[in-house]
A and B are shown apart, each in its own frame.
Chain A
Amino acid sequence: MTASPQLDPTPASITDPRETIISSEDLGMVFAAGSVVALQEVNFEIKRGEFISLIGPSGCGKSTLLRIVAGLLTPTGGTLSVKGEPVTRPRPDIGMMFQKPTLLPWKSVMDNVMLPKTLGGRVTKEDKEKAVALLHLVGLEGFEFSFPGQLSGGMQQRVALARLLNTGAEILLLDEPFGALDEFTRERLNVELLRIQREVKATILFVTHNIQEAVFLADDVFVMTPRPGRLTEIVDVGLPRPREMAMMKDADFNQRVFEVRDILGGTI
């Protein structure tokens, strides 16, 4: 095992904000002994601090791509590199969040958020205070010692987000994190996610099947198409930040939404 040079990445480690942090070269993934081509010739570069939305219909390989970046799956062709090194296993500077909150119901909200620290060794008072601060950041002040079963779905995902931030990862992979929530909760969490990203200066890969959500959040929208899974087009959103819900009424915003829909239209 090659020890990673950055065990606790902090925003201070950012030297060149426009440096490429993730790159994919002819990435391919074939499942079930050659019968299912999940990904084919996927090429892209992601710069540090970018917010990328990954959109496409079911079976386009977006979740597979995310799991390759996470080091949970090994590609069958090409290379996926983070900071110039091919990813072969989960890395400390990459964290992942899922559609389900994946909280441990027997641990308090605090203890769930501290899970990355618990796995890393002993939990200190500083770790606890960091967890409290993260819970405040995601808007869960006063719920530190509640249990997951007492929280709504939206609040559970906030806990999951705080836990993700507590891994100290600077690359955050989000697999339809708000997909199971109602529309209002999802919109509010999206706005908050952008605020949090500004604060922690993370690079984010966000999988969704909601076009408006994809455009609203991203710098670039990666549009993927299925059978075989390909990265068909990269749409540069180019809308100003910070973004607010009101922006969804703008002509420019809707222009981008139509653009993405057109690309997807031929495939669905």
Chain B
Amino acid sequence: MSTQDRAGSTDRSGVPHWAQHLLVFVIFISIWEMAVQFNWVSALILPSPFAVIVAWWDLAITRGIIWGHFFTTLTEVLVGFIVGATFGIGVAILSAINMTFRRLVSPYMVALQVTPRIAIAPIIVAWLGFGMEPKMAIAAIICFFPMFINALTGLMQVDHENLEMFESMRASKWQIFRHLQLPGALPVIMAGFKTGISLALIGAIVGEFVSASEGIGVLIQRFSFQLLLPEAFASLIMLTAMGLFLYGLATFADRHIVFWRHSDLVNKISRRMRAKNAGLAGIKPLE
């Protein structure tokens, strides 16, 4: 993306962007710390940043008990997302190539969209018990819909002249799907990835809130009930980190799958292809 905040970019002030971000962060944390230190807010309600760091150090380093929970939640999210995305994209593909199928499933899709999908969590737990499976299932159900709708939108937006171009070359339906429809849908599908993976995280946490013995959601609930708010905040920060990691993963996948939307990658791939085909008659090597 051309508007992306690149490291090292500056504006008219001459202060690099990373320094500006750091400044805002330091001010924010300082105000928070002062608010607690000067008793503007009770430390029982809002733990100070320092207390949160101490709690995090204890949970993550000294006792190291948070990591098991962290990877439990991460596994639930990733498996749930993969399952939800596979079904979402799969149903979208079937709907895009078969009008009858699309007509028959669309009422259920609308029903799924208007039902608050979180409300299904207790039922899923009742079905699948207390392990990781119900959380995966809830994550999958929650991220299924945005994946489905994005994939279907992408697959249905085929340019008419492009289609005529393929038809004039006597392409089969499968070839049109494989060479035009599917790659053309990838930008929209990948945009769905970013939404879907964040929703999968919400799904897994909701599942853990309903009933679980392991996971960051369990920790947050347990610490909050015991009024151990620094620990609850430290756990929450782990979720923020997980969310950032997942979002980064989706962004990375988007950049490399929809590479043609990113000029820096296109230049690189273009050079690599030229080097690989240097032996072809008529190809001049790069100077």
Contacts and interface: CB of A to CB of B under 8 A. Distances in A.
B179 interface: yes
Contacts of A110: 273, 277
B15 interface: no
A72 B165 CA distance: 10
Contacts of A105: 260
Contact of A90 (B168, B175, B261, B282): B168
A136 B283 CA distance: 10
The B interface, classified by DSSP as helix, strand, loop or mixed, is: helix
A94 B168 CA distance: 8
Given A99-B161, A128-B280, A150 B266 contact: yes
A115 B164 contact: no
A118 interface: yes
A91 B271 CA distance: 36
A98 B164 contact: yes
Interface residues of A, number: 40
B274 interface: yes
Nearest to A166: B169
Interface string A71-100: 110000000000000000111101110111
A132 B164 CA distance: 25
A118 B178 CA distance: 12
B171 interface: yes
Contacts of B161: 98-100, 102
Interface in A168-212: 173
Interface residues of B, number: 33
Nearest to A150: B266
Contact of A146 (B171, B180, B270): B270
A108 B283 contact: no
A96 B168 contact: yes
Interface in B80-138: none
Contacts of B175: 119
B287 to A, nearest CB: 10
Contacts of B269: 147
Interface string B255-274: 00001110100110111011
B281 A115 contact: no
B60 to A, nearest CB: 42
B164 A133 contact: no
B183 interface: yes
In this complex, the member of B165, B171, B282 whose beta carbon has the largest number of chain A beta carbons within 10 angstroms is B165
A149 B260 contact: yes
A174 to B, nearest CB: 12
Contacts of B281: 129, 132
A106 B260 contact: yes
A165 interface: no
Given A96-B168, A145-B271, A147-B270, 4 more contacts: A102-B165, A119-B166, A141-B282, A144-B277
26 contacts: A70-B168, A72-B164, A72-B168, A90-B167, A95-B168, A98-B165, A104-B179, A108-B273, A119-B169, A119-B171, A119-B179, A128-B277, A132-B283, A141-B282, A141-B284, A144-B274, A145-B270, A145-B274, A147-B260, A147-B266, A147-B270, A149-B261, A150-B263, A150-B267, A167-B169, A173-B168
Interface of B: 159, 161-162, 164-171, 175, 179-180, 183, 186, 259-261, 263, 266-267, 269-271, 273-274, 277, 280-284
Ranked nearest first, the 8 interchain pairs of A and B with the lowest CB-CB distance are A132-B282, A145-B273, A96-B168, A145-B274, A102-B165, A98-B161, A105-B260, A129-B281
